[in-house]
Amino acid sequence: MAERKVGTVVHWQNLSSILSIFRLMPEDGSPFPDYKAGQYIALRREDCRLTKRVVGEDGKPHYVPDEDEARNRKVGPVTHSYSISSAPFETTRGRHLEFYVVLEAGECNEPGRLTESLFRIHPGEDDKVGYVNRIVGDFTLDKRTAGARSVVFVGTGTGLAPFAGMIKQLDFEAAQGRRGDVRYTVFHANRSRVELAYHEELQAIEAAGRIDFVYVPSVSRPTAQDRDDPRLGTGRASNVMRHVFGMPLKEEEEMRRAEGGPEAAAAAAALEKAVRPTLPRHVSASDLQARCNPAETVILTCGNPLAMADIKHVADTNHIRYEKEDW
Ligand SMILES: Cc1cc2nc3c(=O)[nH]c(=O)nc-3n(C[C@H](O)[C@H](O)[C@H](O)COP(=O)(O)OP(=O)(O)OC[C@H]3O[C@@H](n4cnc5c(N)ncnc54)[C@H](O)[C@@H]3O)c2cc1C
Residue nearest atom 48 of ligand 1, based on CA coordinates: 106
163 pocket-lining for ligand 1 (C-beta < 6 Å): no
113 pocket-lining for ligand 1 (C-beta < 6 Å): yes
45 pocket-lining for ligand 1 (C-beta < 6 Å): no
161 pocket-lining for ligand 1 (C-beta < 6 Å): yes
102 pocket-lining for ligand 1 (C-beta < 6 Å): yes
CA 186 to CA 175: how far, in whole Å?
Answer: 19
Task: Please give the distance, rounded to the nearest whole angstrom, from the Cα atom of residue 95 to the centre of ligand 1.
Answer: 26
Task: Please give the distance, rounded to the nearest whole angstrom, from the Cα atom of residue 104 to the centre of ligand 1.
Answer: 7
217-246: burial string, b at 16+ Cβ within 10 Å, e else: bbbbebeeeeeebeebbbbbbbbbbbbbee
For position 57, what pLDDT does the model report? 87
For position 110, what pLDDT does the model report? 87
Which of 154, 317, 319 is closest to 246 using CA atoms? Answer: 317
For position 106, what pLDDT does the model report? 78
Residue nearest atom 51 of ligand 1, based on CA coordinates: 327
Q: Which residues neighbour 240 within 8 Å (Cβ) at sequence distance 6 or greater?
A: 187, 189, 216, 218, 233, 277, 279
Pairing mode of beta strands 321-325, 297-302: parallel
In 4-135, alpha helices (H): 88-94, 113-118
100 pocket-lining for ligand 1 (C-beta < 6 Å): yes
Q: Which amino acid is at 321?
A: R
Tens of pLDDT, residues 265-308: 999 999 999 999 999 999 999 999 999 999 999 999 999 899 99
CA 11 to CA 15: how far, in whole Å?
Answer: 13
Task: Please give the distance, rounded to the nearest whole angstrom, from the Cα atom of residue 106 to the centre of ligand 1.
Answer: 9
Task: Please give the distance, rounded to the nearest whole angstrom, from the Cα atom of residue 150 to the centre of ligand 1.
Answer: 31
Atom of ligand 1 nearest to the CA of 161: 8
Atom of ligand 1 nearest to the CA of 158: 9
Atom of ligand 1 nearest to the CA of 114: 25
CA 274 to CA 235: how far, in whole Å?
Answer: 8
Residue pair 117/44 in contact by the 8 Å Cβ criterion? no
In the chain, alpha helices (H): 88-94, 113-118, 141-144, 161-175, 199-208, 224-228, 237-244, 250-258, 264-273, 285-291, 305-317
Task: Please give the distance, rounded to the nearest whole angstrom, from the Cα atom of residue 4 to the centre of ligand 1.
Answer: 19
pTM of the model: 0.96
For residue 72, the tally of other CB atoms under 10 A from its CB is 8
For position 56, what pLDDT does the model report? 86
CA 139 to CA 274: how far, in whole Å?
Answer: 31
CA 180 to CA 102: how far, in whole Å?
Answer: 33
For position 109, what pLDDT does the model report? 80
Task: Please give the distance, rounded to the nearest whole angstrom, from the Cα atom of residue 296 to the centre of ligand 1.
Answer: 34
Task: Please give the distance, rounded to the nearest whole angstrom, from the Cα atom of residue 212 to the centre of ligand 1.
Answer: 34
Phi first, then psi: what are they for 272, rounded to 5°?
Answer: -60, -40
327 pocket-lining for ligand 1 (C-beta < 6 Å): yes
104 pocket-lining for ligand 1 (C-beta < 6 Å): yes
81 pocket-lining for ligand 1 (C-beta < 6 Å): yes
Atom of ligand 1 nearest to the CA of 101: 11
Task: Please give the distance, rounded to the nearest whole angstrom, from the Cα atom of residue 46 to the centre of ligand 1.
Answer: 15
Average confidence (pLDDT) per 10 residues, the chain, 327 residues: 93 97 95 98 98 91 93 97 98 98 88 97 96 98 97 97 98 95 97 97 98 98 96 97 96 92 93 95 96 96 93 97 94
